[in-house]
Structure 1
Amino acid sequence: MSIYQILQQYWGYSQFRSLQEEVITSVLEGNDALALMPTGGGKSICFQVPALAKPGICIVVSPLIALMKDQVENLKARGIKAIAIVSGMGKREVDILLDNCIYGDIKFLYLSPERLLSELVQERIRQMNVNLIAVDEAHCISQWGYDFRPPYLHLADLRALHPTVPVLALTATATSRVVEDIQEKLSFKRPNVFRKSFIRSNLSYVVVNEDDKLRKLFAVANKVKGSGIVYVRNRRETQEISRLLNQQRISSDFYHAGLDSQTRSNKQQAWKENRIRVIVATNSFGMGIDKPDVRFVVHLDLPDSLEAYYQEAGRAGRDDTKAFAVLLFNKADISQLKRKFELSFPSIDEIKQVYHQLGNYYQLAHGAGLDLTLDFDIADFCTKYKLDAIKTISTLKFLEKDEYISLTESVFLPSRVKINITSEELYRFQIEHASFDPFIKTLLRSYGGLFEYFTAINESDIAKRTGLTASQAIGFLKQLEIMGLLSYQQQTDKPQLQFLRERVSSSQLHINKKYISERKEITKSQIDAAVNYAETQHCRSQQLLAYFDEHDSPKCGICDVCLHESREDKQENIEQSIENELLKLLALNHLSIDELVLSLQSGVEKQRIDVIRNLLDAGRIKSDGEKFYI
């Protein structure tokens, strides 16, 4: 099939969007490519279409587990075979999935970058017929980017496994320095960048220096019709701001990563279907959400970087209809950003202390823990050891950079089961163990594929069908696992922490001081740029575009600065017209104030009186107390 037939058959589109076809053609010619496309620009089609056009499997690396799962479900819904290997899966489950990629007809394998650290995964990828390597959120590979992820550096290892396979890197935000770094880190054979302009001509950027942010937020939500997103800095604020919006009869709900997966999904769906008008969220919300009719995005705090701000603000107006990106800030925000900056760079001793506490938290002996993956409740960890959350998260990132640990986002995985024996052996077991027979029959009737791969199950559903309680059904599954009949993985909805090395003593912990110093410098420049954007009275769109190296863009005409300048220009033009008209009238006659004001055609009464006063003060007209004259 041609790429146009693939687009029509699987996506129902008759033509590609701007830049998509050029990227796809280049990749199909065997070239490495970097595609810079704004949020909502259709990046995923750029690797999905060429992968379907060629035999073999496409490996997609992404740091966002929720987004990976969404894309896998979307592909499956289109009849395309895809799987994702994420943290929380056991070795046997991963083994089976990788086998399906080697010997089956899977077209897309989604991996988190942490998975590339595993020799098992690398060895199995070597055996696959790979037709394309796609790197999503490619800015994560550059330490000059706003969201550097150290595991991304191992993409060079992936490249070495299939040196002739083209690499397609994709990102929505990258400066010229990051663009060069991405291509270097991914060993591009030659530079090849496809860049879509970052101009959003329908998006009005507004910045307001405001002490009473809530009053302004309510005004925006009441004035701008349609759905919106309100970004806040922490989980507590999501709930509080949502409550206050509802009090103002502005339909809203809150969203953050601490909610369980089903709750997050329900809230997201209600908002997408416009049953909820406004969603109040932390920055965990929005990635991969395709809702084109968002009319406003409000940030109640200064962003950490313009990259993050551009991406979040860009979720408004994807339907190319007028929308607003509003940033509310004040002096307190700047102080808060600076405090967060200081907390984000702990001392070496503090990093060693947190590493020591991690080992104690999991009761891990020195020399133990290699490849151990565990649920991680950061709130509980910080409470237990009386730690600051911001400083702790930063500490974990530095431990991750030096490859002592790996930390992934919260991910929901349903309970899964795979039968480990043949159907004949299972039949004999049922005859010999009559007490298990009804339970096993129900399991086999309810779910297909149990002998081939790990299958998602619902313990409550099984319990209803067997007349057991949910805890009894779980007990049966655990017993059958102990007896070697099946493998049972219970559902999880927590971040995963993996120890990449055996636990060492604090004195043996080697932390890269130079790297921390460089990150501090980069982060400071990003914060300075965000503050400068808020405080500088210059076209907002031009400021953002210049940050992303588009230096010759025209003024947008619709941001707060441009509109203010337009009003001032209009006022100046009106005043000039009044002045010209007034001087012509007085050149012919002496007129009273009432006669003069009523005779003028330009402006309104207040504007006319203001001009008369200004001309009097400047001595350009005179008055004898009753009449005005030149």
Structure 2
Amino acid sequence: MEATLKKYWGYDSFRPMQKEIISSALAGRDTLAILPTGGGKSICFQVPSMMREGICIVVSPLISLMKDQVENLCARGIRALAVYSGMSYRDIDIALDNAIYGSYKFLYVSPERLQTEIFRVRLAKMKVNYLVVDEAHCISQWGYDFRPDYLRIRDIRAIIPDAPVIALTATATRFVADDIMKQLGFPESNLLVSGFERPNLKYVIRESENKLGQLLKLCNGVAGSGIVYVAKRKSAEDVAQFLVSQGIDVAAYHAGMNGRVRSDIQQEWKSGAKRIIVATNAFGMGIDKGDVRFVAHYEMPASPEAYFQEAGRAGRDGKQAYALLLWNENDLARLKKTGKAAFPPLDYIKDVYQKVFSYLGIPYEEGAMSSRKFDLQDFCRKYKLFSSSAYYAIKYIEMSGYWSLTEEIDIASRINMLVEREGLYYQQLSGDLETLLSVIMRMYPGLFGGYITIDEEKIAAAGHYSVLSVEAKLKMLDARRILKYIPKVKSPILNIVNERLYEKNLLLPKDEYASRVERNMARIEAMEAYVRTAASAPEKFLIDYFGLK
């Protein structure tokens, strides 16, 4: 076990509870592990998989996280790949074939892919050593981030009955933990917990009408790297601007930024070139940075689960760190208002459901098991809807299992040749266009077999062009009907499960709606209790809330 850890990761010893989790997995037992953020969850399934023949299937909800994990494994010389929404059928087909025949050790899969026929057929041909469920709290309707797609994980166990499950999460109450094991079909309870008590991390709750002043005091008083969490994109920009004006080395980060800009900011922060990030909760998942000296919440998070996960990003190296939560009565009022807004009236939700299908041009009784690009802002402009209300309606329909909306992802450029190889000789193309086609044909052997994904930057490097020149030439070839060129886009993907239903067939039960509203408000009430009553012993409050030692 230690030899595998040393060989691939360079570590001499395991972190607390990692060895026990790995031993449980190696013994063939279904295992649920609850470890703190940054507790090394990935090691808990990557090490045992490297010690066993076959491939490890990892179900993960975040595409960006999957990409990072695959990149990190490949950098260690471990073969890994991922299948997720936004990939072409051809690319998925190739990836799944590689998972069967290509000596790969890890296949990361987004949960909505589990129900597709192509995945299930190929899965049966794979020699699977473990089925890993990351962010396992998503499988429980009692959890704070329920995703119905996760419920299908149990179905695929019948296809790979000999593969033990390793389920991992950083945030689950005892009740949710029991539900996770039930939903995944554990034959017996097997829960391993670590890290709820962290002596090096000091939790501080501070009520203040001058939160900017308190935040500045923290930034000046605690040396080293930090994260400041805010609730809104505008807050990220405003708070960052204030801190910069006070001479603090800081950058804003939120989902409204260009993906490349976000990536650059994140890398600067990880490397230490940028000291502090002011971010919405779009920041932090999967980031491995041990020397974060403080995490501050400038605005209250919506649940103890979210707070515990975000605050836990401080002090992973075991050295002294701080988790500061700033609040006032206005914050609490805003949080309660947002909590109510998160559940629009059922009639409004049903109306949004129909409008989404109309926007996508999908008629009644069609659209099942399809994926479409979905621009929320454009949708709201077209139907004159408030974006926040429409978003919450779409997420509620997702919780009800009718579709799922991914994070914003890069969808690679694609081309499809409209002229056969032999026919190219009869086309009167300029030298530049002909040369570009020659470069593309050398780089992509399967060019004449249907749509393929391409990378304009690699084509530019191979042909000594600028990227803009490649894009312009591809558009010319498209205009000449030599090929069909679909430029890359950045868009969320709506994965539709059922065909478009008539309103009478759209089941959104009132009692289930009421129950979800109640659970959401209970989490907000728990946050209120935390800030009002836990100042003298915040860690004890959190441990009691989760019911886990």
TM-score, normalisation: structure 1:
0.81
Deviation at 1:200, TM superposition (A): 1.3
- Tell me the distance in 2 between the aligned counterparts of 1:505 and 1:345: 22
Q: Which residue of 2 aligns with 1:362?
A: 360
Secondary structure of 1:498's aligned partner: strand
Please state if 1:532 is matched with 2:497: no
Q: Which residue of 1 aligns with 2:469?
A: 469
In structure 2, the CA distance between the partners of 1:127 and 1:205, relative to structure 1 (3 Å rule), is same
Measured against aligned partners, the alpha-carbon deviations of 1:113-142 in whole angstroms (never above 9, x if no partner) come to 111121221222122111110000001111
- Tell me the distance in 2 between the aligned counterparts of 1:477 and 1:42: 49
Q: Which residue among 492, 496, 515 is the counterpart of 1:499?
A: 496
Q: Which residue among 136, 139, 147 is the counterpart of 1:149?
A: 147
Q: Which residue among 242, 261, 264 is the counterpart of 1:263?
A: 261
Q: Which residue of 1 aligns with 2:55?
A: 57
Query: What stretches of structure 2 of length at least 5 have no aligned partner?
Result: none
Deviation at 1:262, TM superposition (A): 0.9
Q: Which residue among 369, 372, 375 is the counterpart of 2:373?
A: 375
Q: Which has the larger radius of gyration?
A: 1
The amino acid across from 2:499 in the alignment is E
Q: Which residue of 1 aligns with 2:12?
A: 14
Please state if 1:441 is matched with 2:438: yes
Answer yes or no: is the 8 Å Cα contact 2:418–2:482 preserved in 1: no
Q: Which residue of 2 aligns with 1:398?
A: 396
The number of equivalent residue pairs is 542
Deviation at 1:97, TM superposition (A): 1.2
Q: Which residue of 1 aligns with 2:76?
A: 78
Q: Which residue among 27, 30, 33 is the counterpart of 2:28?
A: 30
Deviation at 1:227, TM superposition (A): 1.4
Q: Which residue among 190, 208, 212 is the counterpart of 1:192?
A: 190
Measured against aligned partners, the alpha-carbon deviations of 1:439-480 in whole angstroms (never above 9, x if no partner) come to 232225557897999665125853963588344333267579
Answer yes or no: is the 8 Å Cα contact 2:456–2:470 preserved in 1: no
- Tell me the distance in 2 between the aligned counterparts of 1:544 and 1:112: 30
Answer yes or no: is the 8 Å Cα contact 1:443–1:462 preserved in 2: no
- Tell me the distance in 1 between the aligned counterparts of 2:285 and 2:306: 11
Q: Which residue of 1 aligns with 2:226?
A: 228
In structure 2, the CA distance between the partners of 1:454 and 1:108, relative to structure 1 (3 Å rule), is farther
The amino acid across from 2:510 in the alignment is K
Answer yes or no: is the 8 Å Cα contact 1:405–1:501 preserved in 2: yes
- Tell me the distance in 2 between the aligned counterparts of 1:488 and 1:73: 28
- Tell me the distance in 2 between the aligned counterparts of 1:214 and 1:124: 54
Q: Which residue of 1 aligns with 2:164?
A: 166
Measured against aligned partners, the alpha-carbon deviations of 1:50-109 in whole angstroms (never above 9, x if no partner) come to 111111111000111111100000011111111111111122221121111122212111
Secondary structure of 1:520's aligned partner: helix
Measured against aligned partners, the alpha-carbon deviations of 1:589-613 in whole angstroms (never above 9, x if no partner) come to xxxxxxxxxxxxxxxxxxxxxxxxx
- Tell me the distance in 1 between the aligned counterparts of 2:201 and 2:156: 39
Answer yes or no: is the 8 Å Cα contact 1:254–1:281 preserved in 2: yes
Answer yes or no: is the 8 Å Cα contact 2:475–2:485 preserved in 1: no
Measured against aligned partners, the alpha-carbon deviations of 1:538-596 in whole angstroms (never above 9, x if no partner) come to 31111111112147xxxxxxxxxxxxxxxxxxxxxxxxxxxxxxxxxxxxxxxxxxxxx
The amino acid across from 1:247 in the alignment is S
The amino acid across from 2:464 in the alignment is R
The amino acid across from 1:131 in the alignment is N
- Tell me the distance in 2 between the aligned counterparts of 1:390 and 1:258: 14
- Tell me the distance in 2 between the aligned counterparts of 1:119 and 1:460: 33
Higher RCO (C-alpha 8 Å, min separation 6): 2
The amino acid across from 2:527 in the alignment is A
The amino acid across from 2:101 in the alignment is Y
Secondary structure of 2:325's aligned partner: strand
- Tell me the distance in 2 between the aligned counterparts of 1:349 and 1:357: 12
For 1:155-554, what aligned pairs fall within 5 Å after superposition? 155-415=153-413, 426=421, 428=422, 431=425, 433=427, 435=429, 437-444=434-441, 456-458=454-456, 461-462=459-460, 465=464, 469-475=469-475, 478=478, 490-536=487-533, 537-550=535-548
Deviation at 1:296, TM superposition (A): 1.1
Deviation at 1:403, TM superposition (A): 3.0
The amino acid across from 1:122 in the alignment is R
Deviation at 1:156, TM superposition (A): 1.0
- Tell me the distance in 2 between the aligned counterparts of 1:320 and 1:499: 44
Deviation at 1:217, TM superposition (A): 0.9
Deviation at 1:483, TM superposition (A): 6.2
TM-score, normalisation: structure 2:
0.92
Secondary structure of 2:158's aligned partner: helix
